[in-house]
Amino acid sequence: MVTEKKSTVTYRKWDRGAMREFSEEVTIVRMDNDKITYAMGITQEGYLLHCYYGARIGDDDISYLMRLPDHPFTPNGNNRDRLIFMDSRAFEFSCPGTGDYREPCLMVMDEDGMSTCDLRVTGFTVKKGKPALKQKGVSCIPATFASANEAETLTVTLEDSHLSLVVELTYTMFAKLPVITRSARAINKSYSDIRIQRLLSGCVEWDRSDFDFITLNGSWARERAVAREPLHFGKQSVESRRGISSHQHNPFAALVSHDASEEVGEAYGFNLVYSGNFLAQAEVATSGFTRFVMGINPFDFSWLLRPEEDLTAPEMVIVYSDCGIGAMSRTFHDLYRGHLIRGQWRDRMRPVLINNWEGTYFDFDEEKIYQIAKAASEKGIEMLVLDDGWFGKRNYDDCSLGDWVVNENKLHGGLKPLVERINALGMKFGLWFEPEMVSPDSDLYRAHPDWAIQIIGRDMTQAREQYVLDYSNPEVREHVYGMIRAILDSANVEYIKWDMNRALSEVGSTALPRKRQRELWHRYVLGVYELQDRLTTDYPYLLLENCSSGGARFDAGMLYFSPQIWTSDDTDAIERLKIQYGTSICYPASTMGAHVSDCPNHAIGRTTPFATRGDVALMGTFGYELDVTRISEEDRCAIPGQIEKFKKYNPIISAGDQYRLGNLFEDDSYDAWMFVAKDRSEAVFTFVQVLNKPSTPSRRILLRGLDPDRDYRNEDTGEIRSGKTWMKGGVIVGAFGDFVSRTMHFKAV
């Protein structure tokens, strides 16, 4: 998979009035599988240049792609014009100060206040499999994983000899997927302190700029809306400066050819396995070449590296497709389902749950919760999740965060009696926590006001009347985990919804020294990772669902610890169409928390058919967000059928290939999608009529992903046609009212 080849590059140029011939020995290092090639070149002076990334190419000498013969300013032959060379080469890991004026991956500050860095290759190693990312003093850095026969990992070591700073670039290629993952690790080998001011995860360059830039943007209740704009000269970026990956921008971006659609065209997808501040940026230089960088946002960031200390950048996932955006998405889905999500629940069907939040908010006691559970169990629902309000003195969102002890005014005798009654119904029990937060009105804050993130002497900004706990402080993490553990050990809790409801502000720590204050953004995220890793290690049977005001932390870093994430607080079925469409660009359906909620919807007030709400929630983990005792008898009686449909189709939806057949961002009248089993033996197709336009009496939707040479029966109508006919001729969906859905099941015969 990894090969090395020495080449001699010869070229001629005018030098001091005469034509001279120069030669340079270069090393080409390339990584190949059946689908893609990633290649880089090492110049005679030790510069690491990018050569190629894309569809698999031949095993030829590709040193010409370094463009050394074409360039009269190669330092080896013309050192007097080194500056021009540095500002025009495709560097694998760019640094400032020696002539590259484009966006750098690494910025440092030495003890003399100097920021120049000049990295040269000192060697490389190749290993089977994929080693975990490591950093001294850090217990867990989320990243993809692979066995020895599933991947190969290349580590290129570079060094700035003046600073004695070593940077290790790690590349992993998966054997059966068109995927490269990248990370970087900086190590201080000097006797002096070095301050890292930015350490991005990687850089990819192209000698072209004819791309569209796709990003996933939005706000609370409108997460991951798809935006697509052509590249232009200068910089285009998305980022978070909120301490979380955010509602506003997801740590995903793609560069796609102008003609790219779901089925055709080139697509390069990028995703950062990280849950904090990030930057994803494309830059078109005056040459017309494009540089893409991604990593921890350098805004307000620095990290002090004392001698022999290290800093590891998060993993950057890079996916290539020459069969359109849909194929790119399916690669991300396969990678994350097989090589990122861990634990006992990764490949298991999730229990159908009911969450009481939209049904009761804070107004409940143990009897009301039990009655909801009892009515739900009679309809086949398998788990009751008790949401906010069960702890401290919590009757509204103005107190008690941080006091993770049972509110016995609501739950007399604690959790155990209630959980035992619910278990006796044959149901599992789950619980909501918000472990990263503290209320000013709480016993924890009164005892430890210094444990909140703050800048001494400045007013602390509240959001939802709460502050953020300083997870860089090990005392805070230990105390919070002790409270969670006491609750889990007190009753049979089998699910946790981990929420996080505000961004960071006044980012300072009473536990960190002055020289390390700007490390807090990143240390906070590492602290969250440590606690979630500890939780899932100590309680491996737990089903953990992450949440952040809905979908503000829907990222690959969180998926390393939880197999599912609450997709959005907006549970309206029609709004969810766009939200789930955008999420599916990068993340698989098995990770999307999706529930049937009551109507009028609590977020936007719309009323949609109960059946449509069920069909839309099937494209996710499936559950209910309502008080089953208060909905209509008609809707209540529909629940067993919806659960039966979920159990029948979920194996295909959670493990199959997804095809997006509609796009509400381009046509607001309908949406459609389908999931096809990996062996193409069956498929599930769903259509939702959003606006019934009089001029469109019926629609013909072309199916995708079927075997063209096999026959398939539409199990709903009995029609049998070849896969080729279903895909070329399509299925006719008759006209019906607004917000009405249809789901069809196709089986090979």
Q: Where are the alpha helices (DSSP H) in 448-510?
A: 474-490
The CA angle 433-435-438, to the nearest 5 degrees, is 110
Q: What is the mean pLDDT of the chain?
A: 95
Residues in contact with 713: Cβ distance below 8 Å, sequence separation at least 6, in sequence order: 719, 720, 746, 747, 749
| 16 pLDDT more than 80 | no
Cβ distance 249 to 258 under 8 Å? Answer: no
Q: In this structure, is the dihedral angle defined by the CA atoms of residues 259, 260, 266 and 271, taken in order, positive or negative?
A: positive
Q: Which residue has the higher pLDDT, 68 or 471?
A: 471
Per DSSP (E only), the strands in 175-330 are 179-188, 194-206, 211-217, 225-230, 234-239, 249-257, 267-273, 278-284, 290-296, 303-305, 310-312, 315-321
Cβ distance 308 to 204 under 8 Å? Answer: no
pLDDT for residue 723? 98
pLDDT in tens, 422-449: 999 999 999 999 999 999 999 999 999 9
Mean local confidence (pLDDT), 257-282: 98
Provide the token pair at 119.
Answer: 């990295």
Mean local confidence (pLDDT), 281-303: 96
> Residue 371: how many CB atoms within 10 A of its CB?
14
pLDDT for residue 15? 58
- Strand, helix or coil at 407? coil
- Return the axis-axis angle of helices 474-490 and 415-424, rounded to nearest 10°: 50
Provide the token pair at 672.
Answer: 């459609």
**Residue 318 binned pLDDT confidence (cut-offs 50, 70, 90):** very high
Mean local confidence (pLDDT), 77-102: 83
pLDDT for residue 663? 97
**Residue 414 binned pLDDT confidence (cut-offs 50, 70, 90):** very high
Cβ-count burial of 71 within 10 angstroms (0-12 exposed, 13-18 middle, 19+ buried)? middle
Half-sphere exposure of 340 (CA within 13 A, CB side): 30
Helix, strand, coil percentages for the chain (3-state, nearest 5):
20, 35, 45
pLDDT in tens, 111-168: 999 999 999 999 999 999 999 999 999 999 999 999 999 999 999 999 999 999 999 9
Known catalytic residues are 499, 569
**Residue 76 binned pLDDT confidence (cut-offs 50, 70, 90):** low
Q: Where are the domains of the chain?
A: 2-339, 353-655, 670-748
Query: Which residue is listed with tokens 């997804």?
Result: 658
Provide the token pair at 749.
Answer: 């015969």
Cβ distance 51 to 7 under 8 Å? Answer: no
Query: Which residue is listed with tokens 């300083």?
Result: 470
CA distance 439 to 469: 10
pLDDT for residue 625? 95
Cβ distance 614 to 645 under 8 Å? Answer: yes
- Strand, helix or coil at 423? helix
In terms of Cα–Cα distance, which of 574, 746, 559 is closest to 652?
746
Mean local confidence (pLDDT), 647-658: 98
Residue % of the chain over a pLDDT of 70: 96
Cis peptide before 600 (omega within 30 of 0): yes
Q: Which residue has the higher pLDDT, 737 or 649?
A: 649
| 516 pLDDT more than 90 | yes
CA distance 293 to 318: 11
Cβ-count burial of 441 within 10 angstroms (0-12 exposed, 13-18 middle, 19+ buried)? middle
| 241 pLDDT more than 60 | yes
Q: In the CATH scheme, what is the code of domain 2-339?
A: 2.70.98.60
CA distance 598 to 610: 8
pLDDT for residue 670? 94
pLDDT for residue 203? 97
Q: What is the full DSSP assignment across 713-744?
A: EETTT--EEEHHHHHHT-EEEE---TTEEEEE
In terms of Cα–Cα distance, which of 174, 206, 181, 216 is closest to 318?
181
pLDDT for residue 171? 98
Residue % of the chain over a pLDDT of 90: 90
Which helix (H) or strand (E) segment holds residue 301: the answer is none
| 63 pLDDT more than 60 | yes
pLDDT in tens, 17-53: 665 666 778 999 999 999 999 999 999 889 999 999 9
Residues in contact with 132: Cβ distance below 8 Å, sequence separation at least 6, in sequence order: 141, 143, 145
- Strand, helix or coil at 329? helix
**Residue 695 binned pLDDT confidence (cut-offs 50, 70, 90):** low
CA distance 254 to 579: 18
Mean local confidence (pLDDT), 350-371: 96
| 14 pLDDT more than 70 | no
pLDDT for residue 80? 64
Which helix (H) or strand (E) segment holds residue 744: the answer is strand 740-748
Q: In the CATH scheme, what is the code of domain 353-655?
A: 3.20.20.70
**Residue 610 binned pLDDT confidence (cut-offs 50, 70, 90):** very high
Cβ-count burial of 458 within 10 angstroms (0-12 exposed, 13-18 middle, 19+ buried)? exposed
CA distance 317 to 557: 11
Cβ distance 653 to 628 under 8 Å? Answer: no
In terms of Cα–Cα distance, which of 595, 202, 579 is closest to 387?
595
pLDDT for residue 9? 75
Mean local confidence (pLDDT), 294-310: 98
Q: In the CATH scheme, what is the code of domain 670-748?
A: 2.60.40.1180
CA distance 176 to 353: 35
pLDDT for residue 88? 82
